[in-house]
Amino acid sequence: MSTETGLMAELRRVVGPRGFLDQATDLEPYLVDHRKLYRGATSLVLRPDSTEQVSAIMRLCNEARVGVVPVGGNTGYCGGATPSEDGSQIVLSLARMRRIRSIDPLNYTMIAEAGCVLAEVQAAAAAVDRLFPMSLGSEGSCQLGGNLSTNAGGTAVLRYGMMRDLILGLEVVLPDGRILDGLKPLRKDNTGYDLRDLFIGAEGTLGVITAAACKLFSRPAATVTAFVGVTDPQRAVALLSRLRTFTGDAVSTFELIPRIALELVLQHIGDTTDPLDGAHDWYVLLEIGMGRHDEQLRGAIEVELAAAMEEGQISDAALATSETQREMFWRLRETIPEAQRHIGASIKHDVSVTTSELPQFIIEACRLVQAISPQGRIVCYGHLGDGNLHFNISRPAGADDESFLRLAPNINRAVHDLIARYGGSISAEHGIGRLKREELVRYKHPVALEVMRAIKQALDPNGIMNPGKVL
Ligand code: 2HG
Ligand code: ZN
């Protein structure tokens, strides 16, 4: 930062004292990523409260060639929002831009700013009897802008899609400060290249998303939540297909959970009990929501699950009978990452294959990992309905974190090479950030990489937008 003093003074003028953090204690929370994989350095965090301020910041930083790292709730898994170690980059927090600018229940749309916490967006939709269906473990702290920039997935993708599918238009500040106003809440707008999709999933490397026109949906009048025991993932896949057909695609959640994950949760997380008698090798947490026949929905699902049991497709099932029980079922799934942290270091993979091939993938991946770490504890769970697995391995009981983590490169290579053979993805929902930059080069099609680099060069020729991430 050669012109640091002058630039600092100008930036302070733009955002005012409330938006200008330069004291060590204030900077600290922005230096470490959620998984504590990276520790960066910075001398400045800016917290603008309007798009115009973001625009002025970007213009100044572009002129001074200073890197800018946008951050939302800092709950990402790949270090995408952590500044570099050399202290040369500025952090840009959108947390003060948290207005719901407008809601149109008849058009089923809402315009919200990037700093809105996801739970606030959900609540604003609910207040007008609508649903914003994006739902994930960190929804109480993650922000809309981060969800957009990482194209978040979560637990309702099966029915409603990923973040990309939930957005109609964006307002983006480009690296040179120009404002790209694409905030039209239109379902049809066939006027050339889809610029919106460039910024979703770009992890802040092409511009700063400041607001979004979000799609809303009808709230299901009735919801059935079930916890099901199955002998293997193959049967779980068959059950999903059965219930999708039976409900006319009203299954919103279909999460696969192995016995070991349930045991970890029961052991380490409070207010949890096993909903089923006896142990099962695998479980499914599923949710079905419907608008009509609500009084009959529960009965119909019960009958269908009983038939599935009769035919040996499932081993047991419990339906939540109250909101409290429903929350407990969800806790059994959502606290798996937290429960896994209790047993030491883990090596994580966020992979996807087709749902139909997922059971075979699990078998082969387990075999490969066991050859490298025979005692490693495989905790493989996730969004079966999306073909997305969190294929995580915890260190062997009694082993030390460090020696286990030394196996990470070998294990990553084995799992990702297998994924490549399946034509799957090495990052289904967590993005690339810094963590998977080299993996992206190895596995992404070379022509796709060339196009990505050309887009980056066209929009950010000075390379100031979240430098060192994704590409
Ligand atoms: C989940 O589905 C998250 O719970 C986190 O994507 C996955 O911790 C993980 O590996
Ligand atoms: Zn997940």
The per-residue pLDDT for range 45-63, each reduced to its tens digit, is: 999 999 999 999 999 999 9
Mean pLDDT of 327-336: 98
Sign of CA dihedral 353, 153, 217, 112: negative
Q: Is the CB–ligand 1 distance for residue 333 below 6 Å? A: no
For residue 80, the Cα-to-chain-centroid distance in whole angstroms is 12
For residue 148, the Cα-to-chain-centroid distance in whole angstroms is 9
Pocket test of ligand 1: the residue of 350, 381, 389, 427 to mutate, having most ligand atoms within 8 Å of its CB, is 350
Q: Is the CB–ligand 1 distance for residue 150 below 6 Å? A: no
Q: Which ligand 1 atom minimizes the distance to the CA of 340?
A: 8
Q: Is the CB–ligand 1 distance for residue 137 below 6 Å? A: yes
Strand stretches in 291-439, DSSP E: 316-319, 346-347, 350-352, 377-383, 388-394
Asked if 286 and 251 touch (Cβ cutoff 8 Å), the reply is: yes
> Residue 271 class from Cβ within 10 Å (0-12 exposed, 13-18 middle, 19+ buried)?
exposed
- Ligand 1 centre to CA of 330 (Å) is 14
Q: Is the pLDDT of residue 1 over 50?
A: no
Asked if 128 and 105 touch (Cβ cutoff 8 Å), the reply is: yes
Q: Is the pLDDT of residue 2 over 50?
A: no
Mean pLDDT of 444-464: 98
Amino acid, single-letter form, for residue 152:
A
Q: Is the CB–ligand 1 distance for residue 390 below 6 Å? A: yes
Q: Which ligand 1 atom minimizes the distance to the CA of 346?
A: 10
Domains in the chain, CATH or no CATH each: 3-93 (3.30.43.10), 100-218 (3.30.465.10), 222-337 (3.30.70.2190), 343-429 (3.30.70.2740)
pLDDT confidence of residue 138 = 95
290-330 pLDDT, tens digit each:
886 666 889 999 999 999 999 999 999 999 999 999 999 99
Three-class SS state of 432: coil
- Percent of the chain topping pLDDT 70: 98
The sheet with strand 68-71 has its strands ordered as: 20-21, 45-46, 90-93, 68-71
Q: Is the CB–ligand 1 distance for residue 98 below 6 Å? A: no
pLDDT confidence of residue 5 = 72
As a whole number, the mean pLDDT across the chain is 96
- Ligand 2 centre to CA of 387 (Å) is 11
Q: Is the pLDDT of residue 188 over 60?
A: yes
Q: What are phi and psi of 99, to 5 degrees?
A: -90, 140
Mean pLDDT of 178-194: 96
Q: Relative to the alpha carbon of 337, which ligand is closest?
A: 1
- Ligand 1 centre to CA of 167 (Å) is 23
Closest CA to 151 of 80, 220, 55: 80
Q: What are phi and psi of 347, to 5 degrees?
A: -110, 120
Please report where in the chains the tokens 């096993």 appear, as a residue: 274
Q: Which ligand 1 atom minimizes the distance to the CA of 429?
A: 6
Judge if pTM exceeds 0.75: yes
CA–CA separation, 365 vs 346, rounded Å?
Answer: 16
Q: Which amino acid residue places its CA nearest to atom 2 of ligand 1?
A: 382
- Ligand 2 centre to CA of 430 (Å) is 8
Strand stretches in 22-141, DSSP E: 45-46, 68-71, 90-93, 100-104, 109-113, 130-131
Q: Which amino acid residue places its CA nearest to atom 9 of ligand 1?
A: 337
Please report where in the chains the tokens 């409070």 appear, as a residue: 270
- Ligand 2 centre to CA of 305 (Å) is 26
348-398 pLDDT, tens digit each:
999 999 999 999 999 999 999 999 999 999 999 999 999 999 999 999 999
Three-class SS state of 425: strand
